[in-house]
Structure formats: C-alpha cells, structure tokens
Amino acid sequence: MNQGRDVLIVIPARDEQAHIADVIAAMRSDVGCQEALIVVADDDSQDDTVAIVTRIGQADPRVRVLETGRKLGVCAAINRAVEAFGAGRNWLVRVDAHADYPPNYASRLVAKAQEMDASCVVTPMVTCGETCFEVAVAAASNSVLGTGGAAHRLARGAGWVDHGHHALMRLDVFMAVGGYDASFIANEDADLDARISKIGGRIWLADDLSLDYFPRRSTPALFRQYFRYGQGRAMTVARHGGRRKLRQMLPLLIAPMVGLAALIPTALMTDRFLERQSMCFTQRPSPFGPVNSQGAWYNSAVRPRVPAGAWLCGALSRLRHHSAAAERTLFGRLRATRRW
C-alpha cells in the first residue's frame, strides 16, 4: 500500500517559530502519508524557525529544511523546494504555517483528487483567533462582506471552482505551467489557478477539509498584508483580464466609508484602542475559549454570540485593510496596463 511515497509536502515559512512545530506534527501524524517527504521552505527567517525544524528533522528523516539564504518570497521558496525534492513524486501539498489543519489532511487531499480526477484540490479557510483583536478581526473576516462571498471562504458546499485556498496540485500540472510566478508578492495562488485552468486543469473545492487560519496579530501587520494582496490582485487582473466579479469590487464600493473613517483620529485606530473596545464588550480576553481544528467554531459559537463592540472593532480593522487593497488594486492595474 502506498503510504505517501509519491507526496511532497511543502511548508513555506518565514519567522513562524510560534506555529511551525504544530504544523509539522500535524503532517507527521497523517496515517495515510507516513512516507511523504515534508520540506519546510524557509524564506530567510530571523527567529528560531530553522532551528526548530532542524531539531525535528534530526529525529525524523522525513522532515527537511531548505533555506533560501535571503528573502525571496513564498513563491520562489516553494518553487525551489519542488525543484530540489519533487523528482519521482506525483503530488504537491502546500501547507501554510499560519494555520491549523484537520486530521490526515494530506492523504485525504490525495484521495479526493483521485476520486474526482482533479488537477488541484482547494479547501475552505475560516479565520479564527484567541486574543480579543484576533477574534474581532475573525468575526469581520468570516462575514459575507469580509469574504466577498468567495466559495472557499464560506464553505457552503463542494464543487468545481476557478480558485480557492491552495492545498494540493498534481506535480506534473504544477511543472507544466511553470510553478508559481516569483514576481508575485501576494495572490500568487489565483494567478496559478488561472494558468492551470487555461491548459484544461480542473480545480475541486473539498468542503470537508476546512482549515483554521490565524490572522495577523496587529493592525500594522494586517494592513501590510492586505496592501500586498491588492498589488498581487492588480497583477492578476492585468495578466488574465476577464470579467470582474462583484465580490472583487466590494472594497471599492465602501470608499465613502473610508472617507468617514479618516475623520477618526489616528490615535484611536491603534491596536490598544481596538483591543480595549473589544474587551469592554466581551469582559474577558478570549470570550470563546480555544477553537477547534475543523473551523466549525464560527457557526456554532461566534456568529450568535459575538458582541456588537467586537464586530465593530473587527469591521473597522477590515475596512482599513480593504481600502488599502482597493487602492493598490486600482493604481496597480493602471501601472500594469501602462495607463498611469
């Protein structure tokens, strides 16, 4: 019986010492992928990420670390891992370090791809958190406005899609389209999905493999993330064109609210302010306790019980990030098409 000998699991990471050991443990415990190779593609971490992975690898030869030596970005890190370790393997499983995964994640992805004859399998992603700030951001992120109605964010059913959170790809298909484009600093998954679709590849959304995503822990970090996303989205639009979807234009529709938010003094937009306001309504730092690994906590606990104050703080944070992405998308597209 094949125990994952044809599976390459790549974990791109940079400064992920808080999460990397747990993610590796989840992949090692997969009973259907006991012979899979687990490679942490480290993008010049400045913390103890490499040391942690090295220590785990000394006890388990299935775990390797591949260092870039300098910051190259997620795309280049994954591509380098495929080039170094992909020979003789059929499946590429991408596992981001900033998340929590369901049991036997990799082997279930492979089984689903074989069942559906899919080129790629993508999964739903639910934002979750433990601190007040993270819970507030998660509440806003998981709303229809926060997700934009994307199928892989709402987890409303399985089916064929044009894009989703990257989980598994056939290695021959990944190589056929040239892998990730290293010029993308964000939204590289949407670009790759578009190129795979153009050569006839099919992408299946597996709604039973939802993962929990941990948001950035501070307002500046979250702002920078969405600003980069806007730039990546602009590059995707410029390259692939196509009809725009309403959910992709929602950030531009809230421009009047951005103007209103600008009237609020910058001092009131700090992390301390947002967390203080959230705690005023929740009365405790983590009102919902630890979250499970299936992403089911949102519908069962947070949606009916999230206080209005936490929703407001999370929505305000999301508004700032959406406006950054919208601005970046608009002006990035103009530059990309040489109209600016």
In-domain check, residue 246: yes
| Pair (142, 287) in one structural domain | no
| pLDDT of the residue at 252 | 55
Q: What is the mean pLDDT of the chain?
A: 76
Does residue 2 form part of some domain?
no
Identify whether residues 174 and 304 lie together within a single domain: no
Considering only CA atoms, which of 184, 197, 200 is closest in space to residue 236? 184
CATH number reported for the structural domain that contains residue 140 in this entry: 3.90.550.10
* Domain assignment of residue 106, given as a range: 7-213
As a whole number of Å, the CA-based R_g of the chain is: 20
Q: Where are the alpha helices (DSSP H) in the chain?
A: 20-28, 49-59, 74-85, 105-116, 132-141, 144-147, 151-154, 171-176, 188-198, 219-240, 246-253, 255-261, 271-282, 297, 303-305, 308-336
State which of 184, 213, 242 marks the end of a domain: 213
Digit-coded pLDDT (tens) for 124-162: 888 777 777 766 666 666 555 555 555 555 556 789 999
Check residues 84 and 257 and name the one with the higher pLDDT. Answer: 84
Residue 1, domain member (yes or no): no
164 and 17 housed in the same domain = yes
Q: Which of 177, 192, 213 is where one domain is finished?
A: 213
Distance CA 227, CA 320 (A): 10
What is the sign, positive or negative, of the torsion defined by CA atoms of 44, 47, 48, 51?
positive
Residue that is last in its domain, among 195, 213, 231: 213
Query: Do 90 and 238 belong to one domain?
Result: no
pLDDT in tens, 190-226: 999 999 999 999 999 999 998 887 766 677 877 777 6
Residues 209 and 230 in one domain: no
> How many domains is the chain partitioned into structurally?
2
Reported as a pLDDT band with limits 50, 70 and 90, residue 84 is very high
Cα 127 to Cα 214: distance, rounded to the nearest angstrom? 6
**What pLDDT, on a 0 to 100 scale, did the predictor assign at position 163?**
86
Assess whether 68 and 163 both reside in one domain: yes
For residues 55 and 94, membership in a common domain is answered with yes
174 and 45 in a single domain? The answer is yes
Q: Are residue 183 and residue 230 in the same domain, yes or no?
A: no
Map residue 11 onto helix, strand or coil.
Answer: strand
The predicted-structure confidence for 32-76, as pLDDT tens digits, reads as follows 999 999 999 999 999 999 999 999 999 999 999 999 888 999 999
* Residue where the block lists tokens 């791109």: 12
- 221 Cβ partners below 8 Å, 6+ apart? none
Number of H helices, E strands in the chain: 16, 11
pLDDT of amino acid 81: 97
Q: Is residue 257 part of a domain?
A: yes
Q: Is the pLDDT of residue 340 over 60?
A: no
Highest mean pLDDT pick, 109-118, 133-142, 229-238, 270-279? 109-118
The answer to whether residue 51 sits within a structural domain is: yes
